[in-house]
């Protein structure tokens, strides 16, 4: 495994490579491509942290746990609540900053706070020719190259190898609680979550799970902030949702942390057989998609806009779901010829191919992961 010790060494590795490179951060997400293994684990460390400006800069291989510990010491946090995929994927290692940005890893709080890409202020990366590219800045007002910063988020290393990232962070709330509605079906749950998210009570998590607790489906709605405000909003939310006829209970801060860690990491399915898919869709379509797929297990997150589904190994969930407004990613599953990512529409595929040709003209970086390289296009 190639482990460059600096950005300059990383650039030399990419520039001199005579074959494809398989890029990894902490190796926790189970992404596999062919090529020489290139690990960013040695490019690690926080290089700048300004709590008063709500910004920090760190090398791409910096463990997320190290970053979260530094932020916690200043009562701050990563606002986009990144997933730790190790339990679900059965992997080891440690999630890294570069990995979560490259995959645009965004948790339940996305419905209120936004995705990882919404907090990326700047990046440094090495493109497929070995050139070092710097884009963006350390404050939100600096929008130079803003689109390129966003472009790197979710590119899974196919456009460049991240070496450094600057992010905006937010203060940590004083407390949190979760209102749980019991035994709603999927349609009623989506309707209740939509009502909660459309209210003025600042919902920071909205999920529905059939197996979160032992006695039936739970619809979970999270509220964060000062304790007095949380208690007031919980009372108002109960009144707002009283018409659904569901039994309501409130999870305190400890229970709430537990619930959202389970939803965030999809850890209920750790060491449980089956392929796991992540389906992005319009929330109103979620109940119908669950009915079509009849999965072994499912979780509605983002108010229904993201569905985690567990299906028998080898099932092509895309074929089962048919047409809908969204896409499905095969997150966990071995063997067969089912692609990890949804095939792109022809117009989007041409745009993607053009970007890869611009940033990785030799097709060296995570080759084939998100689409064919130029010489493979018919």
Phi and psi at 125, nearest 5°, equal: -150, 165
Per the structure block, which two tokens stand in for 56?
A: 């920090």
Residue-level pLDDT at 239: 97
Q: Which distant-in-sequence residues (6+ apart) come within 8 Å of 315 by Cβ?
A: 275
- In a 10 Å sphere around its CB, with 0-12 CB exposed, 13-18 middle and 19+ buried, how is residue 357 labelled? middle
Lowest mean pLDDT of 41-45, 123-127, 167-171, 210-214, name the range.
Answer: 210-214
- The distance of Cα 204 from the centroid of its chain, to the nearest Å, equals 16
pTM: 0.92
Cβ pair 58, 171 in contact under 8 A: no
Q: What is the mean pLDDT of residues 149-155?
A: 91
Q: What is the mean pLDDT of residues 154-162?
A: 94
Residue-level pLDDT at 322: 94
Residue-level pLDDT at 375: 52
Band the pLDDT of 145: cuts 50, 70, 90. very low
Phi and psi at 259, nearest 5°, equal: -60, -50
Q: What is the mean pLDDT of residues 147-162?
A: 91
Region of residue 101 (phi > 0: left; psi between -120 and 50: alpha; otherwise: beta): alpha
Degrees to nearest 5, angle at CA 109 with 105 and 230:
160
- The distance of Cα 29 from the centroid of its chain, to the nearest Å, equals 11
pLDDT above 80 (res 214): no
Place of tokens 């349609």: 187
The length of the chain, given as a count of residues: 378
Q: How far apart are CA 45 and CA 66, in angstroms?
A: 8
Band the pLDDT of 29: cuts 50, 70, 90. confident
Instruction: Tell me which DSSP letter residue 345 carries.
Output: P
Band the pLDDT of 139: cuts 50, 70, 90. very low
Band the pLDDT of 261: cuts 50, 70, 90. very high
pLDDT above 50 (res 71): yes
Lowest mean pLDDT of 27-36, 138-147, 349-358, name the range.
Answer: 138-147
pLDDT above 70 (res 28): yes
Q: Please, what is the average pLDDT of the chain?
A: 92
Place of tokens 């459309």: 198
Per the structure block, which two tokens stand in for 220?
A: 């979970």
Q: How far apart are CA 289 and CA 78, in angstroms?
A: 31
By DSSP bridging, strand 216-225 and strand 297-301 are unpaired
Band the pLDDT of 196: cuts 50, 70, 90. very high
Residue-level pLDDT at 374: 54
Q: What is the mean pLDDT of residues 202-219?
A: 88
Residue-level pLDDT at 359: 92
Q: Which domains does the chain have, with CATH numbers?
A: 7-171 (3.30.465.10), 175-265 (3.30.70.2190)
Residue-level pLDDT at 306: 98
- In a 10 Å sphere around its CB, with 0-12 CB exposed, 13-18 middle and 19+ buried, how is residue 35 labelled? middle
Phi and psi at 273, nearest 5°, equal: -65, 155
Residue 40: which of 24, 54, 51 has the closest Cα?
A: 24
Q: How far apart are CA 51 and CA 73, in angstroms?
A: 10
Band the pLDDT of 303: cuts 50, 70, 90. very high
Q: What is the mean pLDDT of residues 87-113?
A: 94
Per the structure block, which two tokens stand in for 43?
A: 């490019």
By DSSP bridging, strand 76-77 and strand 170-171 are antiparallel
Lowest mean pLDDT of 154-158, 272-276, 283-287, 373-377, name the range.
Answer: 373-377
């Amino acid at each position: 495994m190639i482990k460059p010790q600096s950005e300059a060494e990383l650039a030399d590795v990419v520039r001199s490579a005579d074959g494809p490179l398989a890029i990894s951060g902490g190796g926790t997400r189970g992404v596999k491509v062919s090529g020489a293994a290139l690990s960013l684990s040695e490019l690690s460390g926080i290089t700048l942290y300004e709590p008063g400006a709500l910004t920090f800069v760190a090398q791409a291989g910096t463990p997320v746990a190290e970053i979260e510990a530094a932020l916690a010491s200043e009562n701050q946090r990563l606002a986009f609540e990144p997933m730790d995929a190790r339990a679900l994927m059965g992997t080891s290692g440690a999630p890294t900053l570069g990995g979560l940005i490259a995959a645009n890893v965004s948790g339940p709080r996305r419905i209120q706070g936004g995705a990882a890409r919404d907090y990326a202020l700047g990046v440094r990366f090495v493109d497929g020719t070995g050139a070092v590219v710097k884009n963006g800045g350390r404050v939100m007002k600096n929008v130079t190259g803003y689109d390129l910063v966003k472009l790197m988020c979710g590119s899974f290393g196919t456009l460049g190898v991240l070496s450094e990232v600057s992010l905006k962070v937010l203060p940590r709330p004083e407390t949190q609680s979760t209102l749980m509605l019991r035994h709603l079906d999927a349609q009623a749950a989506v309707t209740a979550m939509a009502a909660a998210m459309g209210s003025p009570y600042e919902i920071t998590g909205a999920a529905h799970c059939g197996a979160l607790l032992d006695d039936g489906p739970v619809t979970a709605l999270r509220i964060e902030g000062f304790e007095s405000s949380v208690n007031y909003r919980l009372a108002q939310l109960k009144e707002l949702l009283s018409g659904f006829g569901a039994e309501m209970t409130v999870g305190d801060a400890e229970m709430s942390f537990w619930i959202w860690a389970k939803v965030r990491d999809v850890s209920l399915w750790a060491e449980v057989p089956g392929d796991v898919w992540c389906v992005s869709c319009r929330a109103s379509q979620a109940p119908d998609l669950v009915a079509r797929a009849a999965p072994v297990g499912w979780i509605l997150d983002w108010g229904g806009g993201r569905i985690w589904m567990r299906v028998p190994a080898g099932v092509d969930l895309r074929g089962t779901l048919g047409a809908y407004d969204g896409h499905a990613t095969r997150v966990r599953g071995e063997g067969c010829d089912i692609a990890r990512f949804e095939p792109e529409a022809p117009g989007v595929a041409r745009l993607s191919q053009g970007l890869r040709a611009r940033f990785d003209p030799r097709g060296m970086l995570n080759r084939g992961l998100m689409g064919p390289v130029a010489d493979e296009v018919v």
